[in-house]
């Protein structure tokens, strides 16, 4: 069952996790390289940019292809770095300095400050960039990834229990025993397979 971009986007529970998951097409295919359109659609769906700004950005490759290519390649490097870092983190493996370097590079160039903004009946913190360069578009993602790493075990970063899925998520369940990116897809598939196995007494896969 194919999922919509929006469903996949929200499964991870954190911006950087959703960004890494974006690179995975459903059902275990190898990661697809990030396109400009997917990047901008993601930033818009994640409320990093407004729909108006998103529409402007979608037209950018026709107006200033050098800027859009530079940002896309930086976004692709960030996505790869975060994927490697998350994979190593869930395996308790060694995290290579070069991956951290890519994240730090974006944290460094995107100076700015947080500001309180009113959001309906609540307040939230929003990052305001000092310069209006395109790189700030990746700042929130890099920071989200950095926070997950800095929180270490507390972030409860997990890889979906379905070995062909490959999606990451942050386990915010009370029991801390969430196994699947989504109960509706991977969890259900597991239940069906386990049921079939009980019926026939032999493995189905
Ligand atoms: Zn899954």
pLDDT, tens digit, 9 for 90 and up, residues 68-122: 999 999 999 999 999 999 999 999 889 999 999 999 999 887 677 888 988 788 8
Asked if residue 27 lies in contact with residue 164, where contact means CB atoms within 8 angstroms, the answer is yes
Q: How far is the CA of 189 from the centre of ligand 1 (A)?
A: 9
pLDDT band at 175, cuts 50/70/90? confident
Six-digit token string for 30: 């190898």
- The owner of tokens 């062909």 is 164
Average pLDDT of the residues in 177-205? 79
Q: How far is the CA of 115 from the centre of ligand 1 (A)?
A: 35
Cα 182 to Cα 79, 120, 193: the distances in Å are 22, 29, 16
Average pLDDT of the residues in 180-192? 85
User: Is the pLDDT score of 184 beyond 90?
Assistant: no
Residues in the chain, overall count: 205
Q: How far is the CA of 188 from the centre of ligand 1 (A)?
A: 10
User: Is the pLDDT score of 17 beyond 50?
Assistant: yes
Q: How far apart are the first and last CA of the chain?
A: 18
CA distance 12 to 19: 9
Q: How far is the CA of 16 from the centre of ligand 1 (A)?
A: 17
User: Is the pLDDT score of 1 beyond 60?
Assistant: no
- The owner of tokens 């969430």 is 178
Question: Could you tell me what percentage of the chain is helix, strand and coil, using 3-state DSSP and rounding each to the nearest 5?
Answer: 55, 10, 35
Six-digit token string for 38: 């997917």
pLDDT band at 7, cuts 50/70/90? very low
For the chain, percent of residues with pLDDT exceeding 90: 46
Q: How far is the CA of 168 from the centre of ligand 1 (A)?
A: 8
Provide the angle, in degrees to the nearest 10, between the axes of the packed helices 15-22 and 65-90.
Answer: 110
User: Is the pLDDT score of 32 beyond 50?
Assistant: yes
Average pLDDT of the residues in 53-75? 95
Average pLDDT of the residues in 128-139? 78
CA distance 76 to 68: 12
Number of Cβ within a 10 Å radius of residue 44: 18
Q: How far is the CA of 198 from the centre of ligand 1 (A)?
A: 22
- 183 forms beta bridges with none
Q: How far is the CA of 157 from the centre of ligand 1 (A)?
A: 13
Which pTM does this prediction carry? 0.79
175 CB-contact burial (10 Å; exposed 0-12 / middle 13-18 / buried 19+): exposed
Asked if residue 107 lies in contact with residue 143, where contact means CB atoms within 8 angstroms, the answer is yes
């Amino acid at each position: 069952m194919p999922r919509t971009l929006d469903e996949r986007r929200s499964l991870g529970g954190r911006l950087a996790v959703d960004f890494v998951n974006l690179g995975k097409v459903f059902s275990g295919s190898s990661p697809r390289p990030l396109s400009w359109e997917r990047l901008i659609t993601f930033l818009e769906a994640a409320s990093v940019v407004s729909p108006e700004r998103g529409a402007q950005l979608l037209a950018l490759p026709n107006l200033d292809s050098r800027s859009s290519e530079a940002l896309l390649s930086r976004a692709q490097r960030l996505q790869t770095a975060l994927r490697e870092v998350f994979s190593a983190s869930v395996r308790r493996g060694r995290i290579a300095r070069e991956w951290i370097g890519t994240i730090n590079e974006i944290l460094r160039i995107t100076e700015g400050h947080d500001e309180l903004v009113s959001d309906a009946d609540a307040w939230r913190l929003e990052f305001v960039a000092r310069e209006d360069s395109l790189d700030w578009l990746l700042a929130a993602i890099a920071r989200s990834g950095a926070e997950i790493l800095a929180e270490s075990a507390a972030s409860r970063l997990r890889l979906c229990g379905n070995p062909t899925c490959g999606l990451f998520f942050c386990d915010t369940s009370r029991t801390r025993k969430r196994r699947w990116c989504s109960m509706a897809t991977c969890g259900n598939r597991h239940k069906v397979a386990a049921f079939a196995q009980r019926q026939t007494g032999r493995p189905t896969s």
